[in-house]
């Protein structure tokens, strides 16, 4: 089952940098590209660095530690040394609020 959580107002997100937010046990990197919002896991799958602190290039964010690039839309790495994706989350904007869908329990 998924549940939606507010992570901020659209006006709080700078389009040129990522922003780290925590929702329960989830640490997310939120990115604003023009009027669209994307959320992926904030920890690089290779070296545990914060992806929210990485440099954003079009739809890719570069890990600040070793330079792996991740697609902010899917979490899939596009360059080495990372080979495993990070989780990506569904994002919606409702009345100026940025909402992220998180799985809160296992569906059977």
Residue numbers of the domain that contains 64: 2-103
Residue 64 located in a structural domain: yes
CA 19 from chain center: how many Å? Answer: 8
| 73: phi then psi, degrees, rounded to nearest 5 | -80, -30
| Structural domain count of the chain | 1
Domain of 65, CATH number, reads 2.102.10.10
Extract the tokens encoding 10.
């659209």
Residue 79 located in a structural domain: yes
Residue 41 located in a structural domain: yes
The answer to whether the CB of 107 falls within 8 A of the CB of 31 is no
Q: Return per-residue pLDDT of the chain as tens, 108 residues.
A: 789 999 999 999 999 899 999 998 999 999 999 999 999 999 999 988 999 999 999 999 999 999 999 999 999 999 999 999 999 999 999 999 999 999 755 444
Residue 75 located in a structural domain: yes
Residue 55 located in a structural domain: yes
Residue 108 located in a structural domain: no
The span from the CA of 32 to the CA of 38, in Å, is 7
Residue 77 located in a structural domain: yes
Neighbours of 25 (CB within 10 A): 6
Quote the pTM value.
0.92
Residue matched to tokens 């330079």: 67
């Amino acid at each position: 089952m998924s549940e939606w959580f507010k992570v901020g107002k659209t006006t709080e997100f700078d389009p040129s940098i990522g922003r780290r937010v925590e929702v329960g046990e989830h640490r997310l990197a939120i990115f604003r590209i023009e009027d669209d919002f994307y959320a992926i896991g904030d920890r690089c799958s290779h070296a545990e660095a914060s992806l929210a602190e990485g440099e954003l290039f079009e739809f890719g964010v570069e890990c600040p530690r070793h330079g792996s690039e991740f697609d902010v839309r899917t979490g899939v790495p596009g360059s080495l040394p990372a080979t495993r994706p990070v989780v990506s989350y569904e994002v919606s904007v409702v009345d100026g609020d940025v909402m992220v869908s998180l799985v809160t329990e296992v569906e059977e």
